[in-house]
Structure 1
C-alpha cells in the first residue's frame, strides 16, 4: 500500500474488524430481539447463537480498538465543519463504548441467569457474579436499553456515511471500504 492510499484509507485490519463487527451486529441484534418472541423449543438455540456471537463481538471490538490505537487514522475530508467532525467523533466513540459494554453486560446477564457461560458450547467462562435472578433482571434491562442505543448509534453512523456520499460527495465512505 503506498503512502497516498494509506493516508486516505483506514488500515486493512481496521476495515476487516469494522465489517466483521457490522455483520455480526446485524445478525446478533435481531436474534436478541427475537428471543422474547420465539417458542420455548428454539429459545435456547437463539440464545446460544446470540450469546456466543455477541461475546465474539466483544473480542473483535477489543482487537479493533488495538488496531485503532496502533495504526494511523486517515485525515478528515477538507472543508468538513467542526460541528460535523465532532458529532462523527462522538458517535464513533459511543459506538465503541456500547459495542464493548453490551457483550460484557450480556455475558454477566447469562452468568447471573444460568450461573455459567460456555462460549460456543466449548469454552466455559467462569461467572464473576454467580447465579442471581435479581441481578439478572437489572442486567436484562440495561442490555435491552443498550441494544436500542446501539441501533440508534448505527443508524446515525449510516446516515452520516450516506450524507458524506450523497450530499457532500466526499471520500469519507471510501476510507472504510
Structure 2
C-alpha cells in the first residue's frame, strides 16, 4: 500500500499495514495516558491514590498484551523498506528495538512489583489477575527500581523517537511520517 503526495514533486511512500499502524497508535495513546498517571500518583491524596494505581496498572497491563501482539505482528507483517544512510537506519533500528524492549520491561516490572509488594491486581477492578510471585518483600524494591528506571529510559526513547519524526517531517520534509499514519 502506498501514500502519494502530489504537488511540485510527485512522490510516494510504502506505508505500514493497517494492523501495524493501529497497534502503534494504540500503544502511543495508552503510554501517553499511563506514564503521567504513574508520575502523579505520589502527589495524589490517599483517598484517590488507589484509584490512580488501579487505572495506571490496568493500562500498563493492557500495554504489555498489546506489545506482545505487536512483537508477533512485527515478526510476521511486511514493513516498508528502511530509508536513510547507514547511521540513520542503525539509529532508527536501535531506538525502535529499545522502545519495544522497554514497552515490555516496564509493564512486566510494574506488575511484578505490585505483586511483590503484596497488592492484589484486578484489571480495571473487574478481573483478578493471578500473582506469579506473590508477596516477596525481598525483591519488591528491586522490581520497583527497574520499573522506575524503565519509565525514565522510555521517556528518553520517546523523546528520541519524536525528535526523529520532527527531523524527517519538518527538516527533511520527507514522507516518513506518512508510513505510520
Moved more, 122-131 or 38-47: 122-131
Structure 1 residue 156 corresponds to structure 2 residue 166? no
Taking the aligned partners of 1:75 and 1:171, their CA distance within structure 2 comes to: 13
> What is aligned with 2:10?
none
> What is aligned with 1:21?
27
More helix by share: 1
Structure 1's consecutive aligned runs of 4 or more residues displaced over 4 angstroms after TM superposition are none
Moved more, 130-139 or 21-30: 130-139
Taking the aligned partners of 2:76 and 2:46, their CA distance within structure 1 comes to: 45
1:160 Cα offset (Å): 0.3
Give per-residue Cα distances to partners, 1:102-140, cap 9 Å, x unaligned.
Answer: 111111011111343221122222111111223111111
Secondary structure of 1:169's counterpart equals: coil
Whether the 8 Å CA contact 1:76–1:172 is kept in 2: the answer is: no
> What is aligned with 2:85?
81
1:76 Cα offset (Å): 2.3
Secondary structure of 2:122's counterpart equals: strand
Which of the numbers 63, 66, 72 marks the counterpart of 2:78? 72
Taking the aligned partners of 2:99 and 2:24, their CA distance within structure 1 comes to: 11
Whether the 8 Å CA contact 1:28–1:50 is kept in 2: the answer is: yes
Gaps of 5+ in 2: 4-12
Which of the numbers 110, 114, 118 marks the counterpart of 1:110? 114
Where do 1:1-177 residues align within 5 Å?
2=1, 4=2, 8-77=14-83, 80-177=84-181
Whether the 8 Å CA contact 1:113–1:136 is kept in 2: the answer is: yes
Whether the 8 Å CA contact 1:108–1:129 is kept in 2: the answer is: yes
Taking the aligned partners of 2:131 and 2:52, their CA distance within structure 1 comes to: 21
Taking the aligned partners of 2:16 and 2:59, their CA distance within structure 1 comes to: 25
Taking the aligned partners of 1:141 and 1:127, their CA distance within structure 2 comes to: 19
1:35 Cα offset (Å): 1.2
Secondary structure of 1:129's counterpart equals: coil
More strand by share: 2
- Normalised TM-score (structure 1): 0.92
